[in-house]
Structure 1
Amino acid sequence: MTRKHPSLRVKLLRQLRPWHRRIGIFSTLLVIFMAVSGVLINHSNQLSLDTAPVKQSWLLDYYGIKAPKDVHLYQQSPQQLISASNQVWLDDKLILEANAPVLAVIRYNEMIVAVDNSHLYLLSQQGELLETQGSATGLPSHIQALGLQDNLWLKTQSGLFVADSDLIEWSQAQPLAIIPWVKALENSDSSEVTLQIRASRLHWERVLLDMHSGRFFGSLGPWLMDLVALALIIMSLTGCYIWLQQKPVKVKRRKK
């Protein structure tokens, strides 16, 4: 008996089946990931992902978010009052970007007061900027320190100045007692505060969006997503071909 050689159609089916399975497994895993990340992104508001900070140091490093410099904690409770270079933070909320490094921050008369070397900033308890004072408004220049003794005091190169109760006018004066100058809290753990500031600049919604689009993986990320799309197209075409070739042929019944 002569052995029949498999036809071209059978050979093609034998080649397609294993590749169909391999491509299916590869694309299925990525499709599941994209589906899950897509659902999370669609419900990011309900899940608070748009406000949830990323606290993983390696992720912050990956996004190039560096640790702030010159971090100082001025108040621990009821809310943390922090300065970092020219910025002032209320807990994890950035409330001020000063024109120069911040010298001191204090709460005064239901306000938050911050100074750099040439400006004084008045903010509400919630961190809204109310007023900025400078030399044009009569604020002394070359500020070195901020103090509190009944009223606010400024230490400058030209001497000491005291503000009136409304913080409008500043007068040069000599204090009757030693003025307690505002300083950062000693023995405070700046590493936790530093991580808190870094984490506030990146939220999980941004990370999920980057992963979903492929941009998280750099310049090759979008190409990877294109490869997944191509794999799905190939899997659909090969699946249809295999199904059509294995579809049972309907036998017409003969009429009696």
Structure 2
Amino acid sequence: MSKSRTRRWFQRWHRRVGIFSALILLLLTFTGFLLNHSNDFGLDHKKLTRSQAAVFYLEQSTPTLGSYLPQGWIYQLDKQILLNSQALQTCESNFVGAVWIEQTLYIACEETLHVLDKELRLIESLNARLAYPAPVYALTDCGKLCLKSAQQNWLYDFHSGSFKKTALAPSWHTLKKLPEELTAAAPSAFSWERLILDIHAGRFLGAMGVWILDFFVLLFFVLSISGIYLWWKKENRNKKRRNDIKQG
């Protein structure tokens, strides 16, 4: 292969690979810009929905049951208790249910009871150390708050803050199936900042994605060297041509 043909092949290779690599570089530049201004755009607080997260990450557990109240659905997502998409409190144990009684919202989990006012502000949280009869498996409105533990029913008096055994056997509140549109829109554990960071680092493709990104980093290096080489060769040709013109 002649030098001119080799040079033309090398130039075509450099241009084609350069165009493809430029697309990756544009992606890295754009994601880098977003990460640099993550706080300004609120990306660290905005969560992907479960359906959005499922596109990029392994499928997560999706809430299926909740308590329906006039204000909407209360349900548990991971350790978070939500009203529709609004975070209320956290529960380390399973969500049991929620009821309104006299403008007070009671959110019961097996090991914790959260008491909120009508503005959804926390009044108190109770656990076994504060006489909560954990584990609790059901609750209901029986004039006051009734709770069901393994072998006993309990009556909670909000004003005295005490739990008393009761012989009442009320109809217990049961969780209902959440609407599909709510489960699809439920926030995931992943923020937009996390997604953009994983795209920027190639991690959204798994371990292989990191290697692919490393390949392009090496390719950028090779393109830089080849670009310098092509410029140097062109400068030498131009310099030689100018010398030939002067001598001619």
- TM surpasses 0.5: yes
Alignment of 1:98-109 (within 5 A): 98-99=92-93, 101-108=94-101
Please, what TM-score do these two structures have when normalized by structure 1?
0.74
**Aligned position for 1:95:** 89
Which has more radius of gyration?
Answer: 1
Moved more, 151-160 or 238-247: 151-160
1:166 aligns with 2:159: yes
Partner AA of 2:162 in structure 1:
E
Return the alpha-carbon distance in structure 2 between the equivalents of residues 106 and 229 of structure 1: 56
Shift of 1:234: 1.9
Q: Return the offset for 1:209.
A: 0.8
Alpha-carbon offset, residue 157 of structure 1: 5.7
Contact 1:147/1:180 (CA < 8 Å) preserved in 2? yes
- Pick aligned residue for 1:214 from 175, 189, 202: 202
Structure-2 change in CA distance of 1:119 and 1:209 (3 Å): closer
1-side partners of 2:107 and 2:151: how far apart?
Answer: 20
- Higher helix fraction: Structure 1 or Structure 2? 2
CA distance in 1, matches of 2:78, 2:198: 30
**Structure 1 counterpart SS, 2:40:** coil
2: distance between equivalents of 1:209 and 1:202?
A: 11
Partner Cα distance (1:236, 1:85) in 2:
48
In the other structure, the counterpart of 1:54 is 48
Change (3 A) 1:53 1:76: farther
Structure 1 gap ranges (5+): none
| Aligned match of 1:113 | 106
Give the Cα separation in 1 of the matches to 2:79 and 2:150: 21
- Deviations 1:67-123 (Å, cap 9, x if unpaired)? 33552133252x642246876323332622243x33221245665423345653435
Separation in 2, partners of 1:30, 1:128: 48
The alpha-carbon deviation at position 147 of structure 1 amounts to 2.3
Does the 8 A contact of 1:161 with 1:172 survive in 2? yes
Alignment counterpart, residue 228 of structure 2, candidates 240, 245, 250: 240
Counterpart CA distance in 2 for 1:113 and 1:67 is: 25
The equivalent residue for 1:153 is 146
Preserved CA contact (<8 Å) 1:67 1:195 = no
- Residue deviations 1:159-183, cap 9 Å, x none? 54322232522233456xx956434
After TM superposition, list the pairs within 5 Å mapping 1:59-98 onto structure 2. Answer: 59-60=53-54, 62-75=56-69, 77=71, 80-83=73-76, 88-92=81-85, 93=87, 95-98=89-92
Task: State the one-letter code of the partner of 2:13.
Answer: W
Structure 1 residues 229-248: Cα deviation after superposition (integer angstroms, max 9, x where no partner): 22222222222222222222
8 Å CA contact 1:162–1:172 kept in 2: the answer is: yes
The one-letter code matched in structure 1 to 2:227 is G
Question: Relative to structure 2, which stretch is displaced further, 151-160 or 232-241?
Answer: 151-160
- Aligned pair partner of 1:223 in 208, 211, 214: 211
Normalising by structure 2, we get a TM-score of 0.76
Q: Which string of whole-angstrom CA distances, capped at 9 and with x for unpartnered residues, describes residues 197-242 of structure 1?
A: 3x33222221111111111122222222222122222222222222
Shift of 1:132: 2.1
State whether residues 67 and 98 of structure 2, in contact with CA within 8 Å, keep that contact through their aligned partners in structure 1: no
What residue identity is the alignment partner of 2:41? L
* Structure 2, gaps ≥5 residues long: none
The AA in structure 1 aligned to 2:185 is Q
